[in-house]
Amino acid sequence: MAQTNTSQEIIEAIKASPSTKIKLAVTDIDGILRGKIISKEKFLKAIDRNVGFCDVVFGWDANDMVYNNSKVTGWHTGFPDATASIDLSTSREIPWNDNTPLFLADFHRDENMSNVCPRTLLKRVSEEALNLGFKPKFANEFEWFNFRETPDSLNEKGGINPTPLTPGMFGYSILRSSQNQAYFDDLFNLLKKFEVPLEGLHTETGNGVYEAAIAYTDILEAADRAVLFKTGVKEIASRHEIMASFMAKWNVNLPGCSGHIHQSLWDEKEEKNLFFDDSRDHSISTIMEQYIAGQLHCLPHILPMYAPTVNSYKRMVAGSWAATSVSWGVENRTTALRVINQTVDAMRLENRVPGADTNPYLSMAASLASGLYGIKNELSLDIEATSGNEYDHKDHQKLPATLAEATEKMKHSDLAPKLFGQTFTDHFSRTREWEWEQFSNAVTDWEIKRYFEII
């Protein structure tokens, strides 16, 4: 993998590559890859000099509409170039694109953008963990729906009523995966060549829905893999005239799509899983107990980091396999946090709150920062583990039910700035307020059907 090579070896490999171009990408606040193709010559110069990216990448939403409430950039700043720094350790080739080299960049050296760059935020939180003597190891797993559509065919339908890749509820179906064998195989094999290795890939419950578990690794590499996974799946799907969607809930009658995070802390040499202690109940160490307590304490204050869109909250309803409360349990898939304690190496915590629509840098940063908060403050795990169905516990603290409610709580929280900094918290809250405003101003099909004639 690229991470095993020195910077000089990577540079020499690029010089020797037959490719004349490089794909360079940064990640915006919504987790969308924004990038450009640059010449090999410009890339080699940019390694030391960095490269300019218009800072509108943090000044507009997922549909390229410019925020009218942003402080860090906007019409009032003139949208200057920001300085992006290329991370050579992210080097990989895109196997479905003539092995074009790809690199990720971030804004950790840019005075203005470093405070709001999602990848830079994760690097800061990860560094804090390392300074405390912890090596965070993380992985994402995603569910997503696949449709027999192209951008043009869906546009002709007005962007609604996509045709699922396959009909019926076929979770863990060998039959359904074999019926789209070429696509299924390409996902597994091409993503591995893209250095986004999968531990597993299978169908899930729902029309044309798949689930993939990405291999466990260092937290920053895990987030890089997650971002590249979502883009990679969409590009591979397009080669098969399929559209892949990571919406949290595209159809009220079908399950939603999760973006669960698996996480553990190890010692600096990565020899000891610090979450495991076989002398304690369920083998949950004191460190893990404090980590869980921290995540539960922070969860209501930072929910938009896990549920960033209006649609996110359509997934988070009772009986949906998604979290609705501040809760935890051992091997319990109805709670927000699930302890998996099968073996010492596999001992980990699964955060089941995030949907597939999250920005992996932000959801992982939120998970780690809140867990570390619990450790640093030696929080007690006062919430009892849930046995049985968490949805039946009506007395447990419920999570905010809408993006507006969750954003308002985060915006006025004293806790969020402690975890992520005041500038980031303010900017991110403003972007979520903007997202809710766009939804509130829209006239939906539901409104037309309900009110057009009868009211």
CATH number, domain of 221, equals 3.30.590.10
Length of the chain: 455
Residue 20 burial (C-beta neighbours within 10 Å; 0-12, 13-18, 19+)? exposed
Give me the pLDDT at residue 4, please: 59
Is 122 inside any structural domain?
no
Provide the residue range defining the domain that includes 138: 129-450
Tokens of 145: 């729906």
Angle formed by the axes of helices 286-298 and 360-376, to 10°? 120
The low-confidence residues of the chain, meaning pLDDT below 70, are 1-4
Residues 93 and 210 in one domain: no
Nearest to 276 by CA among 190, 339, 201, 353: 339
Residues 261 and 375 in one domain: yes
Domains held by the chain: number:
2
Paired residues of 214 in beta bridges: 198
3-state class (DSSP) for residue 422:
helix
Residues 183 and 62 in one domain: no
Task: Single out the residue in 91, 114, 137 at which a domain terminates.
Answer: 114
Nearest to 123 by CA among 112, 109, 133: 109
Cβ–Cβ under 8 Å, residues 420 and 121:
yes
Burial 203-219 (b: 16+ CB within 10 A, else e): bbbbbbbbbbbbebbbb
Is 119 inside any structural domain?
no
Q: Cα(16)–Cα(367) distance, rounded to whole angstroms?
A: 40
Residues 143 and 196 in one domain: yes
Is 123 inside any structural domain?
no
Cβ–Cβ under 8 Å, residues 304 and 363:
no
Give me the pLDDT at residue 2, please: 43
Residues 78 and 188 in one domain: no
Nearest to 108 by CA among 129, 128, 87, 133: 87
Is 120 inside any structural domain?
no
pLDDT in tens, 304-359: 999 999 999 999 999 999 999 999 999 999 999 999 998 999 999 999 999 999 99
Residues 358 and 275 in one domain: yes
Cβ–Cβ under 8 Å, residues 284 and 341:
yes
Residues 90 and 156 in one domain: no
Residues 437 and 339 in one domain: yes
Residues 109 and 133 in one domain: no
- The CATH code of the domain that includes 68 is 3.10.20.70
Residues 45 and 160 in one domain: no
Residues 407 and 313 in one domain: yes
Residues 349 and 415 in one domain: yes
Q: What DSSP string runs through 119-173?
A: HHHHHHHHHHHHHTT-EEEEEEEEEEEEES--HHHHHHTTT--PPBSS-S--TT-
Q: Cα(82)–Cα(71) distance, rounded to whole angstroms?
A: 15
pLDDT in tens, 37-51: 999 999 999 998 889
Cβ–Cβ under 8 Å, residues 213 and 200:
yes
Task: Single out the residue in 89, 114, 139 at which a domain terminates.
Answer: 114
Report the predicted TM-score, pTM, of the whole model to 2 decimal places. 0.96
Give me the pLDDT at residue 1, please: 39
- The pair phi, psi for residue 268, each rounded to 5°, is -60, -25
Give me the pLDDT at residue 6, please: 86
